């Protein structure tokens, strides 16, 4: 018998309980072996990529966490669900269409083995490395194809290499700077730490990553009273 490497799931519901930010999934591989029931996998990272045409994944984000690997073994069906927002962030501006930002599944490597099913239930699945789809990935009754993301550092919103002169990245940050979740300027992709506000912490990370970018002025306003 093959030895499974990783966290083998034998519970019916597999989730990361509050506070999810205290759990680091980056180095954890999860294996769903066949059981007599179909387990549910709770997703726990905001679907920032849904508002991101560049398809990037920020490797230095403390909240957009991915599993190292997710494997659905032959004979098993796994269903994604989002029953707990962590934390709930809302977006009403041009960067996102809906009110509450959905959550998504992020993995480095995804393997849906032959004879297995991953049901995404309307949620998005993003991967950065290898994708094995000998099995079936469904969204409801329709086939679903996960989206490949390019790992990069926070601030490189549009996938192109930033060398300190990418005006699009700076403009996207500036447009969202000093905004709050629910506000029209709020942009979930710009909220580096997913704390529902785009403030000096996000700005500091941007400057740390891209010191030559020439970023914004200090926010002159009280965050709650931003124009």
Could you give the CA distance from residue 206 to residue 202 in angstroms, rounded to a whole number?
6
Q: Per DSSP, which regions of the chain are E strands?
A: 7-9, 13-14, 29-32, 40-42, 45-46, 56-58, 67-72, 77-81, 103-112, 117-119, 125-127, 131-133, 136-139, 142-143, 147-148, 150-152, 179-180, 197-198
Segment near Ca ion (CB under 5 A), from 91-99, 140-148, 180-188, 189-197? 189-197
- The DSSP result for 46-69, as a single string, is E-GGGG-TT-EEETT-SSS--EEE
Window 30-59: contact mask with Ca ion (x via CB under 5 A): --------------x---------------
Site for Ca ion contains 73 (CB under 5 A):
no
Residue 72 or residue 105: which is nearer to Ca ion going by CB? 105
- Quote the least distance from Cβ 3 to Ca ion, whole Å: 31
Instruction: State the nearest-atom distance from the C-beta of 65 to Ca ion, in Å.
Output: 11
Looking at the Cβ atoms of 47 and 169, the one nearer to Ca ion is 169
* Residue 45 CB, nearest approach to Ca ion (Å): 8
Is 193 near Ca ion (CB under 5 A)?
A: yes
- Segment contacting Ca ion by CB under 5 A, of 1-9, 128-136, 150-158, 218-226: 150-158
CB 81 within 8 A of CB 40: yes
How many chain residues bind Ca ion (CB under 5 A)?
14
Between 84 and 132, name the residue whose CB sits nearer to Ca ion.
84
Shortest Å distance, C-beta 218 to Ca ion: 16
- If one asks whether residue 160 binds Ca ion (CB under 5 A), the answer comes out as yes
Residues 6+ apart with CB under 8 A from 9: 30, 31, 32, 33, 39
Minimum CB distance to Ca ion, residue 144 (Å)? 18
Q: Of 30, 123, 162, 226, which lies in the binding site for Ca ion, with binding defined by CB under 5 A? A: 162
Cα–Cα distance between 195 and 204 in angstroms, integer? Answer: 14
Distances (CA, A) of 55 to 8, 24, 128: 30, 22, 10
Query: Count of CB atoms within 10 A of residue 137's CB?
Result: 20
Verify binding: residue 185, Ca ion, rule CB under 5 A. Answer: no
Contact footprint for Ca ion (CB under 5 A): 44, 82, 84, 103, 156, 158, 160, 162, 166, 169, 191, 193, 195, 202
């Amino acid at each position: 018998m093959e030895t499974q490497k990783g966290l083998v799931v034998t519970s019916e519901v597999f989730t990361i309980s509050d506070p999810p930010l205290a759990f680091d999934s980056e180095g954890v591989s999860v294996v769903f072996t066949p059981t007599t029931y179909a387990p549910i996998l709770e997703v726990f990272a905001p679907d920032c990529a849904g508002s991101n045409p560049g398809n990037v994944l920020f490797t230095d984000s403390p909240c957009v966490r991915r599993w190292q690997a997710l494997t659905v073994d032959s004979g098993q069906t796994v269903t994604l669900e989002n029953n707990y927002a962590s934390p709930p962030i809302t977006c009403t501006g041009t960067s996102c269409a809906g009110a509450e930002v959905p959550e998504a599944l992020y993995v480095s490597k995804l393997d849906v083995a032959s004879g297995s099913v991953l049901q995404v239930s309307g949620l998005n699945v993003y991967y950065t490395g290898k994708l094995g789809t000998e099995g079936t990935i469904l969204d409801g009754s329709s086939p679903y194809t996960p989206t490949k993301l390019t790992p990069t550092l926070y601030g490189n919103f549009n996938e192109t290499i930033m060398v300190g002169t990418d005006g699009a990245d700076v403009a996207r940050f500036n447009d969202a700077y000093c905004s709050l979740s629910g506000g029209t300027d709020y942009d979930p992709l710009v909220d580096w730490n997913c704390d529902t506000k785009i403030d000096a912490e996000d700005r500091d990370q941007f400057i740390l990553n891209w010191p030559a970018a020439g970023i914004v002025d200090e926010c002159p306003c009280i965050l709650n009273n931003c124009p």
